[in-house]
Structure 1
Amino acid sequence: MSVITVENISKHYIIDHKRGKGTNSLRDAITGTVKGWFGSHETADDLTHEEFWALRDVNFSVEQGDRVGIVGHNGAGKSTLLKILSKIVEPTNGSVRIKGRVASLLEVGTGFHPELTGRENIYLNGSLLGMRRDEIRKAFDEIVAFAGVERFLDTPVKRYSSGMYVRLGFAISAHLNPEIMIVDEVLAVGDADFQKKSLGKMRDNSASGRTILFVSHNLTAVQALCNKTLYFEKGQLIEQGETNQVVASYLSKVSRTRLRLAWETPEEAPGNDLVRVRRIELIPEYPAGATHIDVRTPMRIQFEFWNMMDRANLNLSLHLYSLTGECIFNVGSDSTAYGKGLIQGECVIPGYFLNDGTYTISIMIVKDTVTPLYNMEEGITFDVEDFREGVAWYGKWPGYVRPQFPFRVQALEPIIDIR
């Protein structure tokens, strides 16, 4: 039985731009406000209008008990879709039919009143979901235990951290028996234990007949939870079907190799007033006869940045991520005092360390070992291909790393034939 039916929905926005001007600065905003006080207003001739389709002609249906992942780049239309399904915004065209009570967790603090305590917000959210007071009371202790906010239950939630907000919001949504749960990327705010617990709870809810819609950039979480997946790109539904198949298709489209990024001057380089990136480059040391990176290939990662501070203790922190969003490792350099000027760092990844797959390197410049000055989240992206010698099995080698550790096997005594 279909509990969600989406037919030809589109969402259209008009974006206004000032003629001949880029992004408004704070000064522009203040100037505009002051002009408004004295009756000087922009006319229609001062603005240009851009049409933007956040969603276009989207069709799909969701069966009861399905766990549906929604994947795609930022700006693909995922969050707009969830807001339409949650009845926060209306579609420009098309229709949506939903059977059942919906609980949505779309951003930190959704459905919370900041002045109310955690205890009061549990009852408020339950009431918004149509629950009776005795039903809420029955689930109350389990909600509090799951969220881990016992000590702060009678504290106004405006004093909660973002992680506490998410834990309590998810616990309420998951325990107050909605027929349909809609969860956006907000779970990424929680720690690893909470994410694991939340995925398990959503899986349990689905086993009891509840339906889950789950947006995440963490494709591993999508594969672990969801039996079906929708892939969106530029507001259009590109593919839908079994999760592993759709995720593989999505990865094949977004996978790309980018081994060098460089900027000539600090003015055009990414960064801020303290530090700016000059170059990040991955330099493979190909084995004889090889022309591409494979599991044997050692790699040097070089990073250069301009330091604009007179004196600062700085170090580099390098993160290596899989394309599914998991951090494979993080390694940092020593903290050293530097003056103004160009600084270079280098890290070596040995051969026979990474398994085949697609990886992304991010670099963070850190001051005094604790204060991030700039985080270059998407630096180098590269593919590692498979290579095997003397192995007759050619299935997918499991894991993200593929080291060649010493591994001795020997017979300790001869086998005695007792027949």
Structure 2
Amino acid sequence: MSVITVENISKQYIIDHQKGKGANTLRDVITENFRAMFGSKKDQNTVTHEEFWALRDVNFAIEQGDRVGIVGHNGAGKSTILKILSKIIEPTTGTVRIKGRVASLLEVGTGFHPELTGRENIYLNGSLLGMSRSEIRKQFDEIVAFAGVEKFLDTPVKRYSSGMYVRLGFAISAHLDPEIMIVDEVLAVGDAEFQKKSLGKMRDNSASGRTIIFVSHNLTAVQALCNKTLYFEKGRLIEQGETNQVIASYLSKVSKTRLAREWATPEEAPGNDLVRVRRVELTPDYLDELTHIDVRTSMKFRFEFWNLMDHANLNLSLHLNSMTGECIFNIGTLSQPYGKGLIVGECTIPGYFLNDGSYTISMMIVKDTVTPLYVMEEAITFDVEDYREGIAWYGKWPGYVRPQIPFHTKMLEPVTSEQ
């Protein structure tokens, strides 16, 4: 049964553009207002209007109990669709049908009155969700315990930190029995323990038949929670379906392979007064005359930098990361004394090690094993394609690594017909 049906939704905004210098100071503001009231028609035509479509012709349906992720770049329309579903804004065209009580957590402090205490805001939010005082009272202790704000329960929430705001807001939304729960990026404000606890709570809510809509740039969290995902781009719904498939498609569109970068002189190179990067390169050992990297391909990594110090103990630290931001591994060189000059570090990433997917390499130049002198984020980006031989299963191979480690079976004791 569909609890949310979105049909041909579009949302238009009108953006005003001021020609010329614009009003940047109090004098400019007064002048512009004076011209608007008493100036000529020529003066009054200094503002142009631009139509901006935050959403265009969006259609989807969400079933009861679904855990739906929404992914896309900033400005893709994710927050706009959440505000429409939460009835904060109206669509320009199209219709939305929702069956059930909706609890929304779209930004820090949503639904809170800053002058009221945490205790008072729990009852206020519950009332806004249509709960009776006795229903709120039954959940009250669990809400407080989940949020971890016992000591500040009778303190006005305007004195809460952003993390306390989020913990209390999420606890209220999750415990007051909404049929549909909408959560935006706000969980990123909480610490790792709270994020883990929140994802677990949303999963529990879904198991009991509640519907979850979750927006996050943390694709790992989306994969861990959501069984379906919507991919938005520039206001349009590009793809919808099973989460792993949609995220793989999304990453393939945003991934940009960059295997080599080089700078001719220290003056134009990235770095600082202490070190400058000369060259960073990933060289694949392509198999069978291929021109792409697959899970069998070994890769040689080379990093060159100018040391501009007379004497320093230096080492390199390499971080290989997934496109979702997790560090797959970190390796480093030994710390050694160096004078001024060009220094190179090399290593090999073996074949049959990385799983298929998109990856980045970040580099750090470190002094005395503890002081980072320069960090080069996403120095290299590359994709690893799948390859299988003698395997009939074609589902997504789990994990970030896919090593060939000897793993044998044997029969210890055969069963005979007499047995």
The TM tier, using the shorter chain, reads: 0.7 to 0.9
Q: Which has the larger radius of gyration?
A: 2
Aligned 8 A contact 1:84 1:91 in 2: yes
Structure 2 SS opposite 1:70: strand
**Closer/same/farther in 2, CA of residues 115 and 242 from structure 1, 3 Å limit:** same
| Deviations, residues 162-197 of structure 1 (Å, cap 9, x unaligned) | 333222221111001111100112223333332232
Deviation (angstroms), 1:104: 0.7
**Closer/same/farther in 2, CA of residues 239 and 141 from structure 1, 3 Å limit:** same
1:32 equivalent in structure 2: 25
Aligned 8 A contact 1:118 1:155 in 2: yes
Aligned 8 A contact 1:67 1:225 in 2: yes
Deviation (angstroms), 1:320: 3.4
Query: For the residues of structure 1 that align with 2:16 and 2:307, how far apart are their CA atoms?
Result: 36
Query: For the residues of structure 2 that align with 1:330 and 1:358, how far apart are their CA atoms?
Result: 17
Query: For the residues of structure 2 that align with 1:224 and 1:149, how far apart are their CA atoms?
Result: 27
Relative to structure 2, which stretch is displaced further, 31-40 or 188-197?
A: 31-40
* Partner AA of 1:33 in structure 2: L
1:178 equivalent in structure 2: 178
**Closer/same/farther in 2, CA of residues 35 and 369 from structure 1, 3 Å limit:** farther
2:198 equivalent in structure 1: 198
Query: For the residues of structure 2 that align with 1:14 and 1:305, how far apart are their CA atoms?
Result: 51
| Deviations, residues 125-165 of structure 1 (Å, cap 9, x unaligned) | 22222222222121111112222233333344344333332
TM-score, normalised via structure 2 length? 0.76
**Closer/same/farther in 2, CA of residues 119 and 2 from structure 1, 3 Å limit:** same
Structure 2 SS opposite 1:248: helix
Relative to structure 2, which stretch is displaced further, 257-266 or 241-250?
A: 257-266
Aligned 8 A contact 2:64 2:209 in 1: yes
**Closer/same/farther in 2, CA of residues 397 and 246 from structure 1, 3 Å limit:** closer
Query: For the residues of structure 2 that align with 1:369 and 1:159, how far apart are their CA atoms?
Result: 41
Aligned 8 A contact 2:316 2:345 in 1: no
**Residues 275-290 of structure 1 correspond to what in structure 2 (within 5 A)?**
281-284=280-283, 286=285
Aligned 8 A contact 1:264 1:278 in 2: no
Aligned 8 A contact 1:35 1:41 in 2: no
* Partner AA of 1:283 in structure 2: L
**Closer/same/farther in 2, CA of residues 410 and 172 from structure 1, 3 Å limit:** closer
Number of residue pairs the alignment of both structures matches? 405
Structure 2 SS opposite 1:164: helix
**Closer/same/farther in 2, CA of residues 288 and 234 from structure 1, 3 Å limit:** closer
Deviation (angstroms), 1:2: 2.4
**Residues 217-296 of structure 1 correspond to what in structure 2 (within 5 A)?**
217-260=217-260, 281-284=280-283, 286=285, 291-295=291-295, 296=297
Structure 2 SS opposite 1:75: coil
Query: For the residues of structure 2 that align with 1:346 and 1:199, how far apart are their CA atoms?
Result: 41
2:157 equivalent in structure 1: 157
| Deviations, residues 59-116 of structure 1 (Å, cap 9, x unaligned) | 1222222222212222211111001111222212222222221111112222223343
Aligned 8 A contact 2:54 2:77 in 1: yes
Aligned 8 A contact 2:263 2:279 in 1: no
Deviation (angstroms), 1:319: 4.5
Question: Is residue 344 of structure 2 the alignment partner of residue 351 of structure 1?
Answer: no
Identity of aligned residues (%): 72
1:310 equivalent in structure 2: none
Aligned 8 A contact 1:66 1:212 in 2: yes
Aligned 8 A contact 1:72 1:78 in 2: yes
Aligned 8 A contact 2:358 2:384 in 1: yes
2:103 equivalent in structure 1: 103
Aligned 8 A contact 2:259 2:283 in 1: no
* Partner AA of 1:171 in structure 2: A
**Closer/same/farther in 2, CA of residues 66 and 408 from structure 1, 3 Å limit:** closer
* Partner AA of 1:326 in structure 2: E
**Closer/same/farther in 2, CA of residues 285 and 222 from structure 1, 3 Å limit:** closer
* Partner AA of 2:165 in structure 1: Y
1:136 equivalent in structure 2: 136
2:39 equivalent in structure 1: none
1:25 equivalent in structure 2: none
Structure 2 SS opposite 1:107: coil
**Residues 13-412 of structure 1 correspond to what in structure 2 (within 5 A)?**
13-19=13-19, 31-37=24-30, 43=43, 45-260=45-260, 281-284=280-283, 286=285, 291-295=291-295, 296-300=297-301, 302=303, 319-329=319-329, 348=347, 350-352=349-351, 353-362=353-362, 379-385=379-385, 392-393=390-391, 397-403=397-403
Query: For the residues of structure 1 that align with 2:78 and 2:188, how far apart are their CA atoms?
Result: 16
| Deviations, residues 10-51 of structure 1 (Å, cap 9, x unaligned) | 111233344467xxxxxx87x433322456668554444433
Structure 2 SS opposite 1:222: helix
**Closer/same/farther in 2, CA of residues 120 and 399 from structure 1, 3 Å limit:** same
Structure 2 SS opposite 1:281: strand
**Closer/same/farther in 2, CA of residues 382 and 32 from structure 1, 3 Å limit:** same
* Partner AA of 1:15 in structure 2: I
